[in-house]
Amino acid sequence: MKRWICLLLAVCLVMGLGGCGKPDDGSGGGFRFPIDSEPAALDPQMARDDAAVTVLCALFEGLTRLDNEGKVVPAAADWTVSEDDLIYTFTIKDSYWNANPVKGKEQPWDENLPVTADDFLFAFERLADPATASPLAGELAGIAEVTAPDDKTLLVTLSAPDDDFLAKMATSPFFPCHRAFFEATAGRYGLEEEYILSNGAFRLAAWNHNESLLAYKHEQYHDAAQIAPEAVRFVIGTADPVAALGAGDLSAAPLSAAQAAQVDKSVSTVTLNDTLRCVMFNASADPLAEGNIRRALRDSIQWDSVDAYLADVGETAASGYVPPAAVVSAGETYRNEDNALPRVTDTSAAVKALQAGLKALYPDQSATASRIRITLLAAEDTLSADLARYILQSWQKNLGITVKLELVSEQELARRVKNGNYQAALYTFTPSGLTGAENLSAFSSTATDNVARLMDKKVDAAIAAAKVGGRAELAALESALWAACPAIPVSFPYRYYGFAEDTEGIVARPFGGGRYQSPIDFRTAKYYD
């Protein structure tokens, strides 16, 4: 069975949590972690925003989960598989729902309500129901039938064997939903703490909108003895994470490179190499819809100048589309010197590609390089602006095209790229997934996060092969992307996490959590003396 591995970092940190300070016995305690925004709703079958999913992963548990080595292990259920790998029989463990009682109302789910197979069945039904209109319904692909013959047994039949199935059962769309509770919320499910019934390691105790969400340890969770913290508070928005970590107002927080350099010596940091800075092309917008134009831009960049600047600012030149933290399979990293893409300046090839592109775009007339006009979008920080100018000057010098540089805020850059309101952009992003194949699935024709708007059958086929293949298939996928050129890899920026002192057992994960979905795990977080 395929195993999903990521580079996991267990680190030390400390913090008190609104009355939950450092315990005398060196265990438990409360921890604080920032989320970027207010969760839209804590509904596992609907939530797609990172903030909501991060909180949901603390409050709920699926049939399976991934351990710290990325291996699929039993969570809310144990399982067996038929000989043909099509029928999975899940046996639900003894565990209980938890809820926040509504004042003055006695309800059947206030205490000692067992988690049953029907709760998981209802989650599948909600995903499949057109009335739900779940944006996550596509996750049901490959699942032929789901039944619950009794309270302890859930049967899932696949249409074909799927090595990824058990890992998928650990993700939020397949978290359980109690049928009667959902109906009783009358359309308010997941909107307030009293409308949330969860089965995970923590229970939501308070949702202070626009401020924080407070979760306490769920004492009736089936594995409660292994959950160390007494509480976790998710703080909504943090203006200055450096100061918050130093003061103990946060236990852990993501940091920029500049912020990581500013933290106090008492704050430890870890480095994640899971990010790609690239020139992203809008392959649906002229003239960049023409592949030869994209390849001309790629081969005309003066890489010696770009790479010298990257070295000056301490950033690693990109050797491909897959960041170094990505893996091929269990324990096997992908990125090495042998699979670097041919990132060289080839002006003659670039000019030839430009002429081919002009002929394809304007077949009935004679067109010169001056006909090509491109706006390069970039963030307004110094590093991004300088890199963009090196690239722009290369294009103008070696191709003779007209290029305009437009500098905007990081937020505006992300918004415009996401919405397709750009031609070319110097764009920095952290892919999702843990494997290189998952990282590059963003370039699939059907991917919702395909910001390049690339529609290429060869790339789609290479993505499908890489998902079930190994190192050779992943290398073939990178080569297919290099040929299609929806983006030009520029560098691999580092990301950082900061951790306050005096704790251990907090796990930070690359790629925003990847298949774990949450970037942080507090299950084993403890204070130490």
Q: How far apart are CA 267 and CA 314, in angstroms?
A: 22
pLDDT in tens, 101-136: 555 556 666 667 999 999 999 999 999 999 999 999
Cα torsion 401, 404, 409, 413 to 10°: value is: -40
For residue 185, with 0-12 CB atoms within 10 Å meaning exposed, 13-18 middle and 19 or more buried, which class applies? middle
Q: What pLDDT score does 525 carry?
A: 87
- Assess contact for 30 and 228: CB atoms under 8 A: no
What are 403-428's pLDDT values in tens digits?
999 999 999 999 999 999 999 999 99
pLDDT at 166: 95
Rounded Cα distance, 211 and 50, in Å: 16
In this structure, the dihedral spanned by the alpha carbons of residues 519, 158, 331 and 79, taken in order and rounded to 10 degrees, is 80
Instruction: Give the sign of the dihedral formed by CA 304, CA 308, CA 309, CA 315.
Output: positive
Q: What is the DSSP string of 222-258?
A: TTGGG---SEEEEEE--S-HHHHHHHTS-SEEEE-HH
Dist CA 252 CA 57 (whole Å): 17
DSSP secondary structure letters along 311-377 = HHTT-EEP-SSS-TT-EEETTEE---GGG-------HHHHHHHHHHHHHHH-TTS---GGG-EEEEE
Q: Report residue 436 as tokens.
A: 């290189």
| Local structure of 400: helix, strand or coil | coil
Encoded amino acid at 462, one letter:
A
Quickly list DSSP for 77-112.
EEEEE-TTS-EEEEEE-S-B-B--PPTT---TTSS-
Question: CA-to-CA distance for 527 and 529, rounded, in angstroms?
Answer: 7
* Alpha carbons within 13 A on the beta-carbon side of 316: 16
pLDDT, position 367:
78
Q: How many CB atoms lie within 10 A of CB 226?
A: 10
Dihedral pair phi/psi, residue 390, rounded to 5°: -60, -45
Residue pair 31/525 in contact (Cβ under 8 Å)? The answer is: yes
List, for the chain, all residue ranges whose pLDDT scores fall below the cut of 70. 1-29, 100-111, 330-331, 528-529
Q: Structure tokens of 423? A: 């031609």
Q: What is the pLDDT of residue 37?
A: 92
pLDDT of residue 109: 67
pLDDT score recorded for residue 346? 97
Q: Which two tokens stand for residue 234?
A: 């998710």
